[in-house]
Amino acid sequence: MAGFGWFWKAMGSSTTANQKKSKTIVGEAEKASDRLSDVSDAEVVEIARSCIGSDEARTVEDAPLLLAAVREAASRTLGMRPFDVQLQGALRMLVGDVVEMATGEGKTLVGAMTAVGYGLQGKKVHVITVNSFLAGRDEQWMGPLLDFFGLTHGAIAEEAGPDARREVYSCDVVFGAINEIGFDVLRDQLITRREDAVRTPADVAVVDEADSVMVDEALVPLVLAGSEPGAGPAASITDLVRRMDEDRHFTVSGDRRNIFLTDAGSAFVEKQLGIDSLYGDESGDLLSQVNVALHAQHLLVRDVHYLVRDGAVALIDNSRGRVAELQRWPDGLQAAVEAKEGLTVTDGGRILDQVTIQALLGLYPQKCGMTGTAVAASDQLRQFYGLSVSVIDPNDPTQRFDEVDHVYAEATERDAAVIDHIVEIQRTGKPVLVGTQDVAQSESIADALVMRGVECNVLNAKNHEAEAGIIAEAGRPGRVTVSTQMAGRGTDIRLGGTEGEPGQEEHDRVVELGGLHVVGVGRFRSARLDNQLRGRAGRQGDPGYSVFFVSLEDDMVSVGGAGEELTAQPDEDGRMEQKKVLQFVDHCQRVTEGQMLDIHATTWKYNKLIADQRAIVNERRDRVLDTEAAWDDLSYHDVEKAGALQAAGIDHEVLVQAAREIMLHHLDHEWSEHLAYLDDVRESIHLRAIARESPIDEFHRLSIAAFGELAERAVSLARETFTEAEITADGVSLGDLGLHKPSATWTYMVNDNPLSSTGGSVMGSIASMFR
């Protein structure tokens, strides 16, 4: 990398300068450490606090001494003396960089030390993780270090209620999954009393797996929906769709992401339902119901995209291999899948609010992060967040060997070769970690291994609660662990098992055998995910090995290589070892990465305008929530009623709150209507390209025009409601006027592609959630 220093600087990574400066400061910290070993705990804390300036900015004035104090505290509380590279990582994060550190280098401790550094400056810190399991684990693990410095801390649990969440958010350091924090922001936008807010704003976001959170999912909208009956397909539609045949009544795109009715299919539906035209106005939303039912029946696969447990459909977050708790699909798709599985069909919903992860992170005045693969994402980190990347050398050079891919023409040949390979390696006594693409594949591989006499542990969304125990023992001799992407991030597999350390018999035995053997079944659509899986092996200088088995039928290859031809002759085992085959696989992955970046870039242009409009609505909402603005406006426009209410002796605070609830109801409803309108616009925006118009320019024109009327309409409706509503000493009852809030709300995430040419939100934006 030395020959390309100018390139990394241009991409936002000043590796040489940062490393040289940081190593100098860490070297000074090592000297300062000598005089801390014999002082009391209280003195260590006092020394650390003395490193923070007393001015209003409260910046770090003595970085070497602060690092030395934190290192000493970690040794006393956690039994771990941070390596120099860990201090270097914490230092770069304290100046606002994203650091790249290899797997096994102890990023969890680096994040905790960074949180201490910011916490001592009097700043509230959110340590953001990719899932709630890691948030809870890290908070419990690093808690003693935070306690040492008197910093309160807590973790946001998925099942936690408002009171528990409010208590956690009041802490100095909060550990939470990015989606949980985002959903709390959205839910706080529905409150009508400030004291009902759950989330307390923070000053700093310390982002773990920064490339995943800040780049891969940067433009993923987090959505809050409210119950609305009747959004799913009728039972007759579900039954009808089951009787339709592929290639006759409908066709499916090559990447299995979109589905299209044929003329024969439309005629079949019209005949079965006894209607003249499926596309006529009199048919209502029948076409949408048929499309949704087709999508659920033929594109969504049980144990790949969702599980059925306890009589309900549970979504799987494929990028993390986990059940997406409390999330559901929009636009009637949830109901369609429930009908497909013969379950009780739940209500549909309408979008109440949404926020992208990038916009969510924009709420934090300061941001920093850490990951094993930051340099590859440095351009986006700089463009989206203005952040630089610092590369931290490993404490011990990696000894992992990454073998070239084993490529096969067909998935069945690939899977057979994978099983043979695992059986062969397991017989040597080496521990094996098998990385699969989804739940179904993990179980298929595990079943095949059992048939060959190989016992294995399976880690996927069905048993995620056993994750810690399975990962803890995955490094034992002869252990085979089959996992989805759950084992790809945030986990640390010790050779020899839980207590695996040099000198321990099982640890040394596994080292002698060559370390952890990682087998990837299919390449991911991003090389960074491949590298995360590879990185499970070779931690902290341990030996390790990785190899990927790829089929030309894999999703990544079929999508990235669509329209291209490859001619190659497999050997007698079906493997294609030609260099051009390996190059083709790499090419396909680069294409799929490029497709995702194109979608992100385009989606950003659409979401940026919505985010700007959201900020304006938020500002108005905060003014209504925190002042008497609503009462001032409504009482001015109906002086007679306002006077009558006051004459009736109703407490002024009750009147202010009633006015506030009226105004907020209509403002929230109009914002929800605006989002629905924008969704409709985006469904047909691709037609603008056909008409040689710029889709993004036309979207901006239409959305700005619609938004200009939103506030005025909300205020006008609020004035009408104020005049009509009955306000008593108990407040206002909007339900008497038919103005109801949703009886239930839920959250979900959706990868939105506004340039979908499929002509509908279900067939376009929702389709991209699944693959």
Annotated binding site for ATP: 86, 104-108, 492
Beta strand 306-309 with 98-100 is unpaired
* 123: CB partners within 8 A, 6+ apart: 58, 202, 203, 204, 366
Mapped onto helix, strand or coil, the DSSP state of residue 119 is helix
The stretches of 627-735 forming alpha helices (DSSP H) are 629-637, 639-647, 652-684, 686-690, 695-724
**Distance separating alpha carbons of residues 526 and 524, to the nearest angstrom:** 5
**552 contacts 575 by C-beta, under 8 angstroms:** no
Q: Which residues pair with 517 in a beta bridge?
A: 432, 545
Q: Which residues are annotated as a binding site?
A: 86, 104-108, 492
Q: Which amino acid is at 701?
A: R
The token pair that represents 760 in the structure block: 């509908």
* 687: CB partners within 8 A, 6+ apart: none
Q: Which residues pair with 175 in a beta bridge?
A: 127, 155
**662 contacts 733 by C-beta, under 8 angstroms:** no
**92 contacts 392 by C-beta, under 8 angstroms:** yes
**Distance separating alpha carbons of residues 534 and 519, to the nearest angstrom:** 8
* Interior/surface letters 191-224, b for 16+ CB within 10 angstroms, e for the rest: ebeeeebbbeebebbbbbbbbbbbbbbbbbbbbb
Cα dihedral sign, 469-474-477-479: positive
* Sequential DSSP letters for 334-362: HHHHHHHTTPPPPPEEEEEEEEEHHHHHT
* Sequential DSSP letters for 293-325: HHHHHHT--BTTTEEEETTEEEEEETTTTEE-T
Q: Please, is 365 exposed, middle or buried when counting C-beta atoms within 10 Å of its C-beta (0-12, 13-18, 19+)?
A: exposed
Q: What are phi and psi of 127, to 5 degrees?
A: -90, 110
Q: Please, is 172 exposed, middle or buried when counting C-beta atoms within 10 Å of its C-beta (0-12, 13-18, 19+)?
A: buried
Q: What are phi and psi of 620, to 5 degrees?
A: -65, -40
